[in-house]
Each structure stands twice: as C-alpha cells, then as structure tokens.
Amino acid sequence: MGLQLKKIDNFKPRKGPLLLIIMDGVGLAKPGKEAASAVVQAKTPNLDRLFKSELFTTLKAHGTAVGLPSDSDMGNSEVGHNALGAGRVFAQGAKLVDGAIENGSLFNSKHFKHLVEQAKAGKMVHFIGLFSDGNVHSHLSHLHAMMDYLIKNGAKRIRIHPLWDGRDVPERSALDFLLPFEEKLSQLRQEGTDIKIASGGGRMNVTMDRYEANWQIVKKGWDAHVLGKGRAFASAKEAVEFGYSQNLTDQYLDSFVIVEHGEPVGRILDGDQVVYFNFRGDRAIEISRAFDEENFSYFDREFVPKVDYYGMMEYDGDLHIPKKFLVNPPMIERTVSAYLAAEKVTSFAISETQKYGHVTYFWNGNRSGYIDAKLEKYIEIPSDIVPFDQKPKMKAREITEKTIELLRSGKYQFGRLNFPNGDMVGHTGVMDAAIVAMETVDEYVGKLIDVVNELDGVTIVTADHGNCDEMWTEEKGIRQPKTAHTLNPVPFVIIDKNWHGEYAINREIKGGLANVAATILNLLGFEKVADYEPSLIKFK
C-alpha cells in the first residue's frame, strides 16, 4: 500500500500496550439535564476520577464533526467508528444521499435508470425501510424523492413496507409520520397511481437485525414483505394502534400485512423491483442477503421471487452486499489500522456481537476482514438474544476477561474494544437498566486500566456518541422516555501512569472523534499522518 509513518524524535512510547476503550453511547449531559442522565445518576467512581484528570477533554461526536449534514444531526456508532479509525471526516449517510439526490447522480445511476425502465413497463416497485426522519438509518425525504421521480417518469404501481422507528425518534411517533404520508398516497391514487402501504413492523422485531444476532427478525420481515404472512389489518394506522393497545412502543411493534378482499395488497413477486432505502449498513445487510443469495441457509424462505433488488448504498464493500445499489459509499482508505499494519504494529479488536462490526468493519473504513491477519486478532463475544434492559450488564465481563488475556499475552501493541451497554440499554428508555449498564461499564473500565497500568501501558477511554446520558425528556411537566442518540459531547481521557508532563491535552483545538487516530499514532511513537485531523495532545 506504500503507507509509512515517521517516528517522533522527542517522545519514547511506553513499554506496555496502548488500549482504546470505546464506551458506546456514553455522552456527557448538559448542565441542568443531570437528572435524566444515567451517566450521572449511576455510581461510577472510576469515571468520576478520570473526568477530573489533567488529560481529560470532551469531543464532538455528532453532526458535521462526523460527516453528517448539520449539527442538528445526532451521531451514531457507524459514522463514529468510521471517524475514529479514519482520522478524517468523510461525507456520511444522509449527507451522501442528500448530495446524490441534489446533484442527480442517484437518478442517473445505471441501476436507478433500470428501475425507472421497469417501472414504466408496469413492474411493481417496492420500497422497504425505516419510516422516520431520524437520519441515522434513513430519512423519509429520500423515499419521497424516489417515489416522486418514479411517478413523474411513468411508474404506476408502487408498494411501501414501512419499518417503524421509535428509537432515533420519539418512541411512539409512528403515526406522526404515517398520517401525512397516507394523505399523500390518497392524493396520488386519485391522480392514477396504484400506490399503497403493504406490510411492515417495528425495527427491533421485523427485518432490521444486524451482525446475525437473530435471523428470526429478518424472517418475520421476509414473511410479511414477500409471503404476505403476518397479522392482517385493513390499514397501517390500524396496525400501529393495535400495537399500542398491547402496550408496545414503535420499535417493538410486530409484523403486519395489509389485506383487501382477503388478499395481501403488496406481496413481492417475480419480476418486481425492490428498493431498501436505508443508507446505513449494519441493519441492511441481512435482508439484502436474503434477497440476493442463492445458497441461503439462515431460514426457510419458502418462495424466492426473481426480483431486481437495490440497496440505497453498498452496505459491505468487500463482500459486495447488495449486488446492486444506488449511491456509492464514501471511499475510506488509509485508516489508522492500515498505517499500523504497514509498520508491523500488532493489534486486536474485540466486542460482543452487537458492536463487533464497529471495531472491525466500520473502524477499518467499511472494509470486511483483516488488514493483515498475521498482525491482527479480532474477537467476537456472542450477544444474548434478550431485550437489553433485562440483561443490562450484557457481555462486559466476558469482553474484559478476554481483553485482559490478550493484554497479558504480550503479543499486542495496540488494542481496541467496545462496551455496547450505554447504547443498547440506553435505546430501551429504561433508566434503572441504563444505570446498571453504566455501573457495569465503570467497573470493567477500572479493571482494564489496572491491568494496562500494571503492564506499563497507556489507556484511552472515550465514546462514539451520546445516548444513555439523556434517558428522558420533559415538556410541561410530563416526562417521556428518550430512546434516541443525543447531541451531547463525549468524554476523552488518557491514563498514563508514567506520564510526567511530557505532553498535554491540546486545548487550542475543538476536537472531534476524527482527532483520536492521530492521538493514537502519537502515543505509539509516530507522527500524525499529514492529512489526518490534529492530535488531541501536544508535546512539550
């Protein structure tokens, strides 16, 4: 690859390993919001001490700092880990799709042109995706833009398969998005377009599994979208209201199928066109495989329609999932791990299933597999398949024990791990569980720091975005659970027992997640890469 790093002349790296701990979903509450923060309300003696350190600062982890369109856009684990590993900021997710719609490149792509041709010829077009404006996995404006373009160019038959959000938006907001949309569909039908909502369900229960944690979630979606199997309703509104009557929130609503005259209105059949309009990859890969793969063994599909299937983006660039996509992903080359591999620095990455892909695939710039298998070790701890508020400790103990084993082996100069608790439990909206999650993370962060100190190494503790730092919102004295990510900054602290003032936090820069890569290089004894964001430390 021709990658090369320069050694720092005036700093000798520590004898022991450098460990990066990413506390997923752990932001810092704004003043006056402490009561809603599980980070604040939990007993976290280790973090409390770290946050008072001279080597502590805060980082931006949302909006333009991670390549999203504006600073009103919450960060997420995917763009966060991209920025952490890349050392630079790339246009991401919604911003990438927004640009492709604005400049017309989406509509001029060969696959969208084929989609238009098929639609004009009378083929049914299906849109499946997260039905909100959360801007983390999808945005309804993208669905509207594609629908409008198709109808303008002669499409006559369209079906929508909405996946309710309630996670990146308020937990019971499905009808806020659905009712105006239904009004639009009614108008389009009056104008001659055969367009209807056909099937769907809540994102954590239907279609949107990730990292192969539970293929039955994908099967539920397949059964509803393709086979027309699921609880039957006369309208999507009726389906949502039934779920609410069962005391469910949007993300956990069961699958539904819209039926007229005893038949599903929109099964996916041979010859149809299917667009999965989520732009984020983790919860798009499995359903894409179900449509694309011939030798598929994860569940019985019963019937496999011969369709043209398109992802909004290529969700896995190495494995080419899906085979057809509408918007090219950001090209992230020269990640920090690529440079370290070129310098023969040994490393490991570890998390449980829910975040394993973040410390590997996303960290490595949307690249599957090892950069150099001789130098790297990737460890996945299988996640439990239970609601996360029921087991808020998740696999923190197992991650810690394996990490300690790797550290003590003496084989690795750099390691990175992700504790998913703050994010996955934060998304449930259950404060008591989120407090347990934070206390668990605090305990194991402390244990890992002790081991790294014993080995004369350095620990970095940070996060990829906020979540459990704001567990509820309050309006007019009424509290509502908050299950979405936050716009809050995240902590960053270096723990170096051999530090004697050789370097300091560079408080002249307003750091973001992309600044971490250069900091890692510095602490390993290398100068930053020329076009990387500045290091968070400066040498004296």
Q: For the chain, what are the domain ranges? A: 18-91+331-539, 94-327
The per-residue pLDDT for 318 is 59
Q: What integer best gives the mean pLDDT of the chain?
A: 96
Under 8 Å between Cβ of 524 and 13: yes
The per-residue pLDDT for 24 is 98
Total Cβ atoms within 10 A of residue 318: 12
Say if 18-91+331-539 and 94-327 have the same CATH topology: no
Give the phi and the psi of residue 316 in degrees, each rounded to 5: -140, 110
Q: How far apart are CA 66 and CA 79, in angstroms?
A: 6
Q: Which CATH architecture has domain 18-91+331-539?
A: 3-Layer(aba) Sandwich (3.40)
Under 8 Å between Cβ of 38 and 466: no
Angle ∠(29,33,37) on CA atoms, nearest 5: 60
User: What residues of the chain score a pLDDT lower than 50?
Assistant: none
- Helix or strand (DSSP H, E) at 352: strand 347-352
Q: How far apart are CA 357 and CA 214, in angstroms?
A: 15
Catalytic residue among 77, 173, 288, 383: 77
The per-residue pLDDT for 317 is 66
Q: What is the dihedral of CA 249, 255, 261, 267, to 10 degrees?
A: 140
Active site residue 77: yes
Q: How far is CA 39 from the centre of its chain?
A: 21
Under 8 Å between Cβ of 199 and 254: no
Q: Is the pTM of this model over 0.85?
A: no
Give the phi and the psi of residue 196 in degrees, each rounded to 5: -150, 155
Tokens 């503790």 locate to: 461
Tokens 């929508």 locate to: 160
> What CATH homologous superfamily does 94-327 map to?
BPG-independent phosphoglycerate mutase, domain B (3.40.1450.10)
